[in-house]
Amino acid sequence: MTTRAHKGRGAVSKPAGRFEKRGVELDAEAAFEYAQQAPQTQLRAMPANRIISTNSSPDVPFDQSINPYQGCEHGCVYCYARPTHSYLDLSPGLDFETKIFYKPNSAALLLEEWTKRNYECKPITIGANTDPYQPADKNLEITRQLLEVFLEHRHPVNIITKSNLISRDIDLLGRLAELDLCSVAISLPTMNDDLKRVMEPRVPAAKARLKAMTLLSSSGVPVSSLLAPLIPAINDNEIESILEAVASAGARQAQYIFLRLPHELLDIFTAWLETHFPDRKERVLSLMRQASGGRAYDARFGVRQTGRGAYADMLASRFRAASRKLGLESGPYQHALDCRQFIRPGQQQMDLGF
């Protein structure tokens, strides 16, 4: 597998997806020339048939979610959503962060879902897989269109992001928060700008995310922080400093998620380690195995988010101690929201008693 680091990209490889039936093999010279090319972002419309996804995972704090985008230009090398690009017969490596699909009919589909008689109002999370505030949304504004619909119909919504672009929508979020209809979780896995540049290259700097947290909090929006992911021997030394920073920025609650390496992600992450941290590659992978029962990844519910064993227990202990000291709440990173205000599309007058 040819590897090369490109400025502004996280993955250093382009492995085939696990469902690809026929691969393309290049000779050594062609493979080298291909690897030198800086991959450009391609943005494509992908009208969806439905917009709400459901899950019943016991360790995920929501059962309804929306992802306006498939693929993510942020380029986080650790992203557990990378393997989803395999379903498009694309690489979970560089393709995931350069071939981005957006769903232009997201808001219309959401309204359609809400008109169904059997629809039950439960909080919906935006950004469970890919970031709803990735660079493309600056112009497309799909996430803002969704928030306008949530506000109009008084439907509760939670948002997960690692971008300060969320500040653009502070007017909508503030009004939703006044009605107890929204919360925001901002991911911040490192305060080290040098590490951020190679680990999550197109994500705003920690300083910008902290500023967004302060703005949201001062506007009455409940804010949580996610230290996600926690990576052995890479950012595990930052637990206390990150928690101190997010507490100062107004976060009410904090949680961490241990690095997950499903499917092709193990090879993508290993190639990244070899390129950027060859001196500690074996140490990182060894600690991963220690926290996963001897495997690179333990996918079982109740274990995959935190790991297990002595090393994982030590991380959990440090996180709890620092959180208590700073007054940060523990538990799910999404706040309880009010589902009683929901106004079903087309039935406003009936719902309001007219």
Q: What is the pLDDT of residue 354?
A: 31
Helix (H, G, I), strand (E, B) or coil at 18: coil
How far is residue 81's CA from residue 127's CA, in Å, rounded to a whole number? Answer: 11
Q: What is the pLDDT of residue 154?
A: 98
163 CB-side CA count, 13 A: 24
Q: What is the pLDDT along the chain (354 residues), one digit of tens a residue?
A: 578 898 899 999 888 876 665 554 444 444 444 455 668 999 999 988 999 998 766 666 678 999 999 999 999 999 999 999 998 999 999 999 999 999 999 999 999 999 999 999 999 999 988 999 999 999 999 999 999 999 999 999 999 999 999 999 999 999 999 999 999 999 999 999 999 999 999 999 999 999 999 999 999 999 999 999 999 999 999 999 999 999 999 999 999 999 999 889 999 999 999 999 999 999 999 999 998 887 777 666 656 677 889 999 999 999 999 999 999 998 766 678 999 999 999 875 444 443
How far is residue 302's CA from residue 320's CA, in Å, rounded to a whole number? Answer: 17
DSSP state of 26: P
Q: What is the pLDDT of residue 350?
A: 47
Q: Which structural domains are found in the chain, ordered by start?
A: 28-334 (3.80.30.30)
Q: What is the pLDDT of residue 160?
A: 97
Residue 160 · residue 143 · CB < 8 Å: no
Q: What is the pLDDT of residue 14?
A: 85
Q: Report the b/e string of 293-321 with b at 16+ CB within 10 A.
A: eeebbbeeeebbbbbbbebbeebbeebee
